[in-house]
Structure 1
Amino acid sequence: MVHELVRPRKARPGDRLAVLSPSFAAAGAYPEIHEQAMRRLADLTGLLPVEYPTTRQVGASAAARAADINAAFADPQVRGILAVIGGDDQITVIPHLDADLARADPKPFLGTSDNTNLHHWLWGLGIASFYGGSSQVHLGPGPAVDDVHVRSLRAALLTGERLEITDPGESEDIGVDWADPQALKSFGEREPTEPWSWYGPARAVTGRTWGGCLEVIQWILTAGRFPFPPEVLQGGVLLIETSEELLPAREVGWIIRSLGERGLLSAVDAILVARPPVSDHTRRPPAADRARLREQQRDTVVDVVTRYNPEAVVCVGVPFGHTRPQWILPHGGPVTVDGAERRIFADYR
C-alpha cells in the first residue's frame, strides 16, 4: 500500500516561523527561558519567530490551542511551525484541527514528545514533518545551543541537506530547573555516552520514518488515530523513544509487543531506538544504576523486536528523544540505517 507524503518547501531567512504551545505552555510558565530561546532561534536561522494567543497561555483550552495551529497553517507568510515543548493532552487538540488548511499549504512542523500526536495527524494527511525541536528544552536553557541540534534545525527549516547522524559524545537526562536563574547559562549534569548498540543483519536500509514517543503512540493507536494497515509502513524506519515519565523496561516491552501484534514491527526494515532518560529532578540513581536501567530497556526492546522481525536492522542509543543533545530527524522523510557500516544518514529535503 502506497501512502504518498508531501515534503513541505523550506523557509528562507526573513520568513515568519510560528512558535506554538500545542500542549503545555512552558513559554508562559518560564518566560525567561522562552525569550532566550526566541533570540537564539532568530540568530541561528534568520527567521522571525511569531507567537500566538496561547503560546504563553498556561491552561488554554484544546480548542484555543488548535485555533492557533489552524491560524499558522492559514497564514501564507508563515513558512514553518515549531512547538515550544510537549505535554500530555495534545490528543484532545487533534479533533479541532482543520485538515484542509494543512493540505492547502503544507509547512515544516517541528516538535517532540506529546507532539507525536501532530506528527501522526500530518502523516495521515500525507504531510512529512520533523521529529524533534523543543525551544524550551534545546534552545533556551544553557550557555549555548548544541551543535547537532543547530545543524539539524537548520537542515529541517532552511537547507534540506543530507546529514550523518552521529554521537555527540555526551548526554544529559534533565537540565537545570527552569525556575532557577542558573538554567539560562548552565547545562544539566552531562555524562559520557556509550557506543550505540547494533542488531540484525549487516545491510543498509533506506526508508521513510514513522514513530515518535512510545507512550504517545500507544495513546494514538488506542484512540483509533492511525487508520492504516501495517503495510503502509512497509520498508520504512520506525523511530522509538521514551519520555521523562521513566517507564520501567517491562512496560516499554509491553507497548513494543503491542506494536508487534498490530503488525507494525514486521512491516518496517529498520528501527532506531533513542537513548532513554533514566533520571529526573527528583530521581537520580547512581551512574552504575543509570547505565543498568538503559541496558534493561535496550535488551527488552531488542528481545521483543527480534521476536517479531529478526531481519530488521536495529540501532539503540541514538539521541533524538528526551535527552540532550538532540538530533531532529525526518518524520515521513528518508533515513538510511546502515547495519554494515554502522552509520545513519538523514535526508532533510
Structure 2
Amino acid sequence: MPDMVYPAKPRPGDRIAILSPSAGVPAVFPDVYELGLSRLRDEFGLVPVEFPTTRAAAATPRERARDITAAFADPTIAAVIASIGGDDQITVLRHLDDEVIRANPKPFFGFSDNTNLLNHLFHLGVVAFHGGAVMTSLARGGAMHPLSAGSLRAALFDSGWQELTASADHGDEPNDWADASLRGVPPRMWPVDGWRWEGARRVVEGPLWGGCLEILSWLLQAGFVAPPERFDGHVLVVETSEEMPAGAEVFRTLRNMGERGLLERFGAILVGRPMAWNFERRPTPEQKAVYRDEQADAVRRAVAAYAPAAVLVFDLDIGHTDPQLILPVGGDVRVDAVEQRISVRY
C-alpha cells in the first residue's frame, strides 16, 4: 500500500467540482441543492463547477465514474465535493481510472454512500474527508450549524492539527425537502452531554479509517477492503445511517470484522451518535434513547470480544446527524483518553 498523501488545499476563489457519485438527488430537489451551492459561494468563497451527471436523475455507474475521473484530471479544479449519498456507489468503483486519480490527488468530501470513494482513495494513498455533502450540512434549514461550518472551513483551507469540539446540541430529524416553506427554518435540535469515553485510558495516534458502517459491510463483502495488517496502528471510525440498522446487525458487522482479524488492529474506535429517526419511523425521544443504547451495547460487545485494549468513544458529531464534524480518512488523528480530547490533522 502507498504512503498517504494530503492533497493540496483549495483557496477562496478556487473552482470546486460538485459531483453526484451516487444518487442524482439534485434533479429531484433542485432548490435544496442550489441552497447548498449558494453557501459554498457566499460563505466559503468557492466556485462550484457541475459535471454532466451532477443533476442527472439516472446516470449509469460508468457515466458517474467518468465525471469523477474528469474532475480529478482537470487542473482547474482544486477539490471535489459530493452532492449527497445514495446506495449504489460501489458499482462505480471499477470504472474509475486509478492512475489518473493517483497522479492528480485532490481533497474529496462526502459521507454515507461516499464511504465507497473514501475507502477507494485510501487504497490509492490519498487522504479524503468524511463529511460535507452539498445537500445536507451545507443546505441545512435556516443556516449551517456553526460547528459544521467551522469544521468544514478548517478541513477545506487549513493544514495543521485541529482539536474537535463536542456539540452542545444534536439533531436527527431533518426538515422535509418537499416543504419549501422550511428552507429558512432550522431543524429541531436537542441538548446533549457530549462524548462518552470508555475502555483504555491512554493516548492513541495514527491514521484514520472507516465511515458509514453499512457501507463498510458492503465493501468487506465485495473484497474492496485492504488486508487486516494494513490497519495496524490505525483508528477506526464508524457511524450508521437513517436506515437505522438494528443493534444485532451492528454487532454482527463488527463481529465479522473481528473474525476477519480486522477489529483488533485499531487502537481506538470512534462511534458516531446514531441517527434514530427517519420519515418512515418516527420514534419518541424515549424510543430513540432505547435504540441508541442498544446500538452502543452492540458496539461494546464486539469491542470487548475482539479489541478489548482499544480506547472507545461514543456519540461523536459526525456523519448523518447534525451538526457534522469533518474527519480525514487516511489522515492523522490523536485520541487522548487521559485528557478526553480528539484532534485531527487536516
Question: Normalising by structure 1, what TM-score?
Answer: 0.97
Give how far 1:99 is off: 0.4
Equivalent position of 1:233 in the other structure: 231
Give how far 1:3 is off: 4.4
Letter in 2 for 1:291: A
Equivalent position of 1:277 in the other structure: 275
Letter in 1 for 2:138: L
Equivalent position of 1:253 in the other structure: 251
Query: SS of the residue aligned with 2:137?
Result: helix
The correspondence of residues 116-195 of structure 1 with structure 2, limited to 5 A, is 116-195=115-194
Give how far 1:194 is off: 3.6
Equivalent position of 1:332 in the other structure: 330
Q: Separation in 1 of the partners of 2:258 and 2:104?
A: 35
Equivalent position of 1:300 in the other structure: 298
Query: SS of the residue aligned with 1:168?
Result: coil
Aligned-CA RMSD value: 1.2
Letter in 1 for 2:248: R
Equivalent position of 1:198 in the other structure: 197
Q: Separation in 1 of the partners of 2:100 and 2:345?
A: 26
C-alpha contact 1:3 1:232 (8 A) present in aligned 2 = no
Q: Separation in 2 of the partners of 1:183 and 1:49?
A: 24
Which runs of 5 or more residues in structure 2 are unaligned?
none
C-alpha contact 1:175 1:183 (8 A) present in aligned 2 = no
Instruction: Determine whether 1:268 maps to 2:266.
Output: yes
Query: SS of the residue aligned with 1:136?
Result: coil
Q: Separation in 2 of the partners of 1:92 and 1:174?
A: 30
Task: Count matched residues.
Answer: 346
Query: SS of the residue aligned with 2:5?
Result: coil
Query: SS of the residue aligned with 1:86?
Result: coil
Question: Cα deviation per residue 1:179-204 (whole Å; 9 max; x = unaligned)?
Answer: 11133112222212243221111111
Q: Separation in 2 of the partners of 1:183 and 1:330?
A: 32
Letter in 1 for 2:64: R
Q: Which moved more, 1:327-336 or 1:152-161?
A: 152-161
Letter in 1 for 2:259: E
Equivalent position of 1:319 in the other structure: 317
Query: SS of the residue aligned with 2:136?
Result: helix
Query: SS of the residue aligned with 2:237?
Result: strand
Letter in 2 for 1:125: L
Q: Where does structure 1 differ by over 6 angstroms across 4 or more consecutive aligned residues? A: none
Q: Separation in 1 of the partners of 2:171 and 2:260?
A: 33
Equivalent position of 1:77 in the other structure: 76
Give how far 1:246 is off: 0.6
Letter in 1 for 2:335: V
The correspondence of residues 21-100 of structure 1 with structure 2, limited to 5 A, is 21-100=20-99
Letter in 2 for 1:257: R
Q: Separation in 1 of the partners of 2:160 and 2:42?
A: 20
Question: Cα deviation per residue 1:81-116 (whole Å; 9 max; x = unaligned)?
Answer: 000111000011111100011111100000000001
Q: Separation in 2 of the partners of 1:342 and 1:265?
A: 22
Q: Which moved more, 1:166-175 or 1:26-35?
A: 166-175
Question: Cα deviation per residue 1:136-179 (whole Å; 9 max; x = unaligned)?
Answer: 01111311111121122122221223222122111111311111
C-alpha contact 2:171 2:322 (8 A) present in aligned 1 = yes
C-alpha contact 1:176 1:182 (8 A) present in aligned 2 = no
Question: Normalising by structure 2, what TM-score?
Answer: 0.97
Q: Separation in 2 of the partners of 1:28 and 1:257?
A: 39
Give how far 1:53 is off: 0.9
Q: Separation in 2 of the partners of 1:285 and 1:174?
A: 11
Which runs of 5 or more residues in structure 1 are unaligned?
none
Q: Separation in 2 of the partners of 1:191 and 1:153?
A: 22
Q: Separation in 2 of the partners of 1:29 and 1:86?
A: 14
**Alpha carbons of 1:59 and 1:174: their partners in 2 closer, same or farther (altered >3 Å)?**
farther
Question: Cα deviation per residue 1:226-282 (whole Å; 9 max; x = unaligned)?
Answer: 2x3211111111010111111111111100101111111100100100001111112
